[in-house]
Structure 1
Amino acid sequence: MIIKFLIERRSWIFLFLFLQALISFVAFIDTTIPIKPILYIVFIEVIIFIVFLIFRFHRETKFYQLLAEREDNLDVTSIVGAERPFEKIVEESIINQIDFLIEKATKNQLALEQEKDELLSWIHEVKTPLTAMQLIIERLEDEEIKAHLKYEWLRIHLLLDQQLHQKRIPFIENDLYIENVELEAILFKEIKDLQSWCMQKGIGFDIDLVIKQVQSDSKWLAFIIRQLLTNAVKYSRESDIIIKSYQQHHLTILEVKDNGRGIDPRDITRIFEKGFTSTSRHHDHAATGMGLYLAEKVAKSLLIKISVKSKLGEGTTFSLTLPRKNEFVNLRSM
């Protein structure tokens, strides 16, 4: 701050030094003016000027020091109390700007809430005809048409489910309920929902759960598993998807392994980006690029780490590393 102050006042300092040098020079070339008293006066003035600079430094930088040390938030209490006219201008400008930002953020938050509520209401309304459509499909006798309709119905159901959870994610902290969750129950439900799709593609499941119970939020954990299973089924050939849980270094690991086409090595670091599908398969219009993105966002809120291993042509393994029980203390205190 001292250096900044000196740089800010450099023109005044240079003017003072120039005047002292000018007076000394005039006394030097004019023999009628005694040089020693002039140098003595210059010395006294320099001392006084240094003391003045120190005083002004503490007086003028107090307000700006508060600005430099304040946190980047909307709290202005730390800078209230400016004394100098220019400081009051800065203070008033900052307060007005922050008031404007708070008002705008509040309006945007209300608009976002309204949009979320309207979309959630629409999704719930759409679920009614979807349920009726499912019952109609079940009554069909033509198995081929029935299988195709079930697949298309499932796609619509999964897309609506993604939208529903996407709108809830910004408020996920208010929706978490950490409890003991049975992995088997969640997996069987999700597999049952994908049953028609799996039968159409000739895909089965090999489940080996050493760890059967974990601590998490059942609804949001099911959402993460749903995205992984949907991806596994979508990109798998006729084979078994292997699901297993085990303990490693006192942590519970849940793995979902498929024998699909695999992921291009250059895409591995980008698969969790919003809207990213593939750099090599641009014709894959079925992919939305949202499933893994949303799964990772939810996983962060649940303190779950998602990792992936893949090899082209040999399949992909997604691993969920669930947190220790004591790591949920912060979540429960929200």
Structure 2
Amino acid sequence: MIKAFFTERRSWIAMFLFQQVLMLFIAYVDSSIPLTPILYMVYVSILIFIVFVLIRCRKETAFYKSLKAWENNLDVTNISEAETPFESIIERSITGQTEQLKQSATRHRLALENEKDELMAWIHEVKTPLTAMHLIIERTEDQSLKSQLAYEWLRIHLLLDQQLHQKRMSFIENDLSIEVLELKSLIFKEIKDLQSWCIQKGIGFDIQLAAEEVLSDAKWLSFIIRQLLTNSVKYSEASDILIRSYEQGEQVHLEVEDFGRGIDPKDISRVFDKGFTSTTEHHDQTSTGMGLYLAKKAAKQLLIQIEVYSTPGAGTTFTLIFSKRNELAQVISV
């Protein structure tokens, strides 16, 4: 900032120095003017000028230092008070623009909140006819038609569920209820919901739960497991999906292993990216690429680590590594 100050005042400084040199030059060429008094005057003038510049530098750069340190947010209270007319112009301009941005941000935030509330209300409204539709499907006697309708119903249900959780993700901290959960009942419920799809694809489940309980949130853990299971079912054909849990180093591990097409090595690091749907074999044009992305975000809030290992053509394993109980204290306190 000091360098900028002197750069800004270089023309004034140059003008002052030029005047001093001019006085010495005139005294030198004009013998009627004594040189010694002129030298003394120039010396004193330069000392006074240096002190003046240093004082003004400290005083005038305070405002700009605070402006430079400003984080470009909407809080202008940390900016020093303007002391000069030009600083006042800058301060008024920044304050005015900040107020406009605050008002605009408030309007947009309210609009987004209204849109989110309306969408969530719509999703809940849609669930009513979906429930009625499911009851109608259950009464259908044609088994082939029943299977097809149940599969399409499930796809709609999963997409709505995913959208609902995506909108809830922004305030997940206020939606957590940490408790001891029984993995068996939680996993069996998710498998039951996917039953029609699994029957259609000839997929079974091999469940081995050595660790039976975890400390987590029931709603969001169910959502994470649901995304892993639907991903495994989607890319498997006529094979079993292995679900096993075990304890290692005071941490519970839950693995979901399928024997489907696997993931290309170049895609492994991107499977949790928003909207990513694989770079090969796009057989499923309806994939949104949001399931694993949302599962990763929810797992982060629950202090659950997700790891993925895959061999192309041999299958994929997703592993949930739950935090130790004492590490969940910060989540419980939310």
TM-score (norm 2): 0.92
Residues 80 and 91, structure 1, Cα contact 8 Å, conserved in 2: no
Matched, 1:232 2:215: no
Structure 1 counterpart of 2:81, one-letter code: G
| Cα distance, 1:22–1:247 mapped onto 2, change above 3 Å | farther
| Cα distance, 1:15–1:333 mapped onto 2, change above 3 Å | farther
Question: Could you say which residue in structure 1 is the equivalent of 2:256?
Answer: 256
Question: Could you say which residue in structure 2 is the equivalent of 1:20?
Answer: 20
Shift of 1:154: 0.6
Residue deviations 1:235-287, cap 9 Å, x none?
01222211222233333222211111111122222222222212223453031
Choose 17-26 or 241-250, whichever is displaced more.
17-26
Distance in 2 between the 1:247 and 1:8 partners?
67
Question: Could you say which residue in structure 2 is the equivalent of 1:112?
Answer: 112
Q: What are structure 1's unaligned runs of at least 5 residues?
A: none
Distance in 2 between the 1:247 and 1:22 partners?
88
Distance in 2 between the 1:326 and 1:88 partners?
54
Structure 2 counterpart of 1:104, one-letter code: S
Shift of 1:219: 0.4
Distance in 2 between the 1:95 and 1:181 partners?
52
Residue deviations 1:17-43, cap 9 Å, x none?
333333334444444444443333222
| Cα distance, 1:62–1:180 mapped onto 2, change above 3 Å | same
Distance in 1 between the 2:151 and 2:196 partners?
7
What is the Cα-based RMSD across aligned positions, in Å?
Answer: 2.0
| SS of alignment partner, residue 103 of structure 1 | helix
Q: How does 1:56-67 map to 2 (within 5 A)?
A: 56-67=56-67
Residues 66 and 80, structure 2, Cα contact 8 Å, conserved in 1: no
| SS of alignment partner, residue 61 of structure 1 | helix
Distance in 2 between the 1:217 and 1:55 partners?
61
Q: How does 1:74-89 map to 2 (within 5 A)?
A: 74-79=74-79, 81-89=81-89
Question: Could you say which residue in structure 2 is the equivalent of 1:49?
Answer: 49
Q: How does 1:145-184 map to 2 (within 5 A)?
A: 145-184=145-184
Matched, 1:93 2:93: yes
Q: How does 1:29-40 map to 2 (within 5 A)?
A: 29-40=29-40
Distance in 1 between the 2:328 and 2:89 partners?
47
Residues 260 and 314, structure 2, Cα contact 8 Å, conserved in 1: yes
Residue deviations 1:194-227, cap 9 Å, x none?
1111111121112222322222211011111111
| Cα distance, 1:9–1:239 mapped onto 2, change above 3 Å | same
Choose 158-167 or 35-44, whichever is displaced more.
35-44
Distance in 2 between the 1:281 and 1:64 partners?
57
Q: What are structure 2's unaligned runs of at least 5 residues?
A: none
Residue deviations 1:149-168, cap 9 Å, x none?
11111101101111111111
Question: Could you say which residue in structure 2 is the equivalent of 1:242?
Answer: 242
Matched, 1:124 2:128: no
Paired residues, number:
334
| SS of alignment partner, residue 232 of structure 2 | helix
Distance in 2 between the 1:150 and 1:261 partners?
25
| SS of alignment partner, residue 317 of structure 2 | strand
| Cα distance, 1:240–1:26 mapped onto 2, change above 3 Å | farther
Distance in 2 between the 1:21 and 1:259 partners?
89
Distance in 2 between the 1:63 and 1:177 partners?
48
| Cα distance, 1:238–1:280 mapped onto 2, change above 3 Å | same
| SS of alignment partner, residue 323 of structure 1 | coil
Question: Could you say which residue in structure 2 is the equivalent of 1:210?
Answer: 210
